[in-house]
């Protein structure tokens, strides 16, 4: 089995992505949002939480490009700071998912047997568990808050990553070069990290990109229904929820945060699909697509091979 070196993989990916206009657009969108979030303090024209009742519900102007909200806060600044909050939370959730999912998959794949069985059983349960129910339970115990929602997402969504890693481990474990490395005295840990992670890198990158999109949709959704980030924080979901009261008179208040959520998810989705095709043109079917928020990422229990 030929393994890809890092630079080779990068070069190939970039050259393929360059030709895929939709993926390129997605990549640029995502990059712009990341930049806006990273430099929010420098870009945002106003303080996102500064209340100024005299300036409430202003239309767009040079001073307030997207107008002001019901408390006179600058909508553009709130969107920009919202980007920061959203992306930071999404990447934290992703990091949590990877920290749990990758070792779980490795342990399951490498040890096999009873441990493998147990981990995969847990993964099956977690995959079919409705996130809304768990979120409601956790919020009921510990009160509303973004951290609680993030914990819920991490505890449910590590499973697909564990599956991918486990699959990669199983595929490679018996290969000659791994056995040779083992016979030559390389430690198991080194083998895992070097060969298996490198070989599982492509599906993990694709899965991660699409997952960030789902995470963003979920954290915005939970904030919107009042279980996540609490007002007055500058958060897209909170802004959308605030705008409901003024939907008849100031529909623009709802438009901007909604568009921000939609565009960033669209960008991530396009990028993810592009990466999927660029990195692994033959394994398209194995990758989960993003689903509408609150939709269970159910892995059908009725695949023929799960019946044995």
Partner 1 sequence: MTKKRFIINRILQVIPMLFIISIIAFTLSHFSTGDVAEITLRNEGGQVTPEAVDAVRAELGLDKPLVTQYFNWLGNVIKLDFGTSFRSNQPVWDEIVYRFPATFMLALCAAVLSIFLAIPMAMISAKYKNTWIDHSFRVISTGGATMPDFFLGLLLLYLFAIHLDIFPVVAGNQLQHIFLPAFTLSLGYAAIYTRLLRTNIIEVMDATYMKAAKIKGLSNNAVLIKHGLKNAIIPCITLMGSNFGTLVTGSFAVEMIFSWNGIGKFALESIKAKDLPVIQGYILFVAISFVLINLIIDICYTYIDPKIKLK
Choose which of 9, 136, 198, 201 interacts with partner 1 (CB under 8 A). Answer: 136
Three-state DSSP class for residue 113: helix
What residues form DSSP beta bridges with 74?
A: 68
Assess 18 for contact with partner 1 (CB under 8 A). no
CA distance 79 to 257: 6
Shortest Å, Cβ 141 to partner 1: 4
Assess 144 for contact with partner 1 (CB under 8 A). yes
- Contact call for residues 215 and 90 (beta carbons, < 8 A): yes
Shortest Å, Cβ 155 to partner 1: 11
Give the number of residues in contact with partner 1, rule: CB under 8 A. Answer: 54
Assess 308 for contact with partner 1 (CB under 8 A). yes
- Contact call for residues 226 and 199 (beta carbons, < 8 A): no
Shortest Å, Cβ 228 to partner 1: 12
Choose which of 140, 177, 187, 283 interacts with partner 1 (CB under 8 A). Answer: 140
Assess 213 for contact with partner 1 (CB under 8 A). yes
CA distance 39 to 33: 10
Assess 133 for contact with partner 1 (CB under 8 A). yes
Assess 87 for contact with partner 1 (CB under 8 A). no
Nearest residue (CB) to partner 1, 201 versus 225: 225
Of 55, 99, 95, 93, nearest in space to 74 by CA: 55
Nearest residue (CB) to partner 1, 50 versus 247: 247
CB atoms within 10 A of CB 114: 8
Binding track over 157-196 against partner 1, x by CB under 8 A:
----------------------------------------
Q: How far is CA 79 from CA 29, 72, 85, 209, 237, in A?
A: 15, 14, 10, 22, 10
Query: Which stretch, 28-36, 43-51, 77-85, 256-264, contacts partner 1 (CB under 8 A)?
Result: 256-264
Phi and psi at 68, nearest 5°, equal -125, 160
Give Dmax (Cα) for the chain.
Answer: 76
Angle between helices 146-157 and 75-111 (to 10 degrees): 30
Length of the chain, please?
308
Shortest Å, Cβ 59 to partner 1: 17
Query: Which stretch, 43-51, 76-84, 108-116, 130-138, contacts partner 1 (CB under 8 A)?
Result: 130-138
Shortest Å, Cβ 220 to partner 1: 7
CA dihedral 39→44→45→47, nearest 10 degrees, is -120
Nearest residue (CB) to partner 1, 125 versus 193: 125
Assess 243 for contact with partner 1 (CB under 8 A). yes
3-state helix/strand/coil string of 15-44: HHHHHCHHHHHHHHHHHHHHHHHHCHHHHC
Which residues would be at the binding site for partner 1 (CB under 8 A)? 121, 125, 128-130, 132-134, 136-137, 139-144, 213, 217, 220-221, 224-227, 237, 240, 243-244, 247-248, 251, 254, 258, 261-262, 265-266, 269-270, 289-296, 298, 300-302, 304, 307-308
């Amino acid at each position: 089995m030929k393994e890809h070196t890092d630079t080779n993989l990068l070069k190939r990916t970039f050259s393929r992505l360059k030709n895929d206009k939709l993926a390129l657009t997605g990549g640029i969108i995502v990059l712009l949002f990341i930049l806006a979030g990273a430099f929010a303090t420098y870009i945002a024209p106003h303080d996102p939480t500064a209340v100024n009742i005299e300036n409430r519900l202003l239309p767009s102007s040079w001073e307030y490009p997207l107008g002001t909200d019901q408390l006179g806060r600058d909508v553009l600044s709130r969107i920009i700071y919202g980007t920061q909050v959203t992306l930071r939370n999404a990447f934290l959730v992703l990091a949590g998912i990877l920290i749990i999912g990758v070792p779980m998959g490795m342990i399951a794949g490498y040890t096999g047997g009873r441990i493998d069985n147990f981990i995969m059983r847990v993964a099956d349960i977690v995959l079919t568990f409705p996130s809304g129910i768990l979120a409601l339970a956790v919020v009921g115990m510990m009160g509303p808050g973004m951290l609680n929602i993030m914990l819920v997402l991490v505890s449910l969504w590590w499973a697909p990553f564990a599956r991918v890693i486990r699959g990669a481990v199983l595929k490679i474990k018996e290969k000659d070069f791994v056995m040779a490395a083992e016979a030559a005295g390389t430690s198991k840990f080194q083998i895992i990290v070097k060969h298996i992670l490198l070989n599982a890198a492509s599906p993990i990158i694709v899965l991660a990109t699409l997952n960030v999109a789902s995470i963003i949709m979920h954290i915005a959704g939970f904030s919107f229904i009042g279980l996540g980030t609490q007002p007055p924080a500058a958060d897209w979901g909170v802004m959308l929820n605030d705008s409901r009261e003024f939907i008849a008179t100031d529909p623009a208040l709802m438009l901007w945060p909604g568009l921000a959520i939609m565009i960033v998810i669209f960008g991530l989705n396009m990028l993810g699909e592009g990466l999927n095709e660029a990195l692994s043109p033959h394994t398209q079917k194995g990758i989960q697509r993003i689903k509408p928020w609150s939709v269970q990422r159910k892995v059908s229990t009725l695949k023929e091979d799960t019946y044995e």
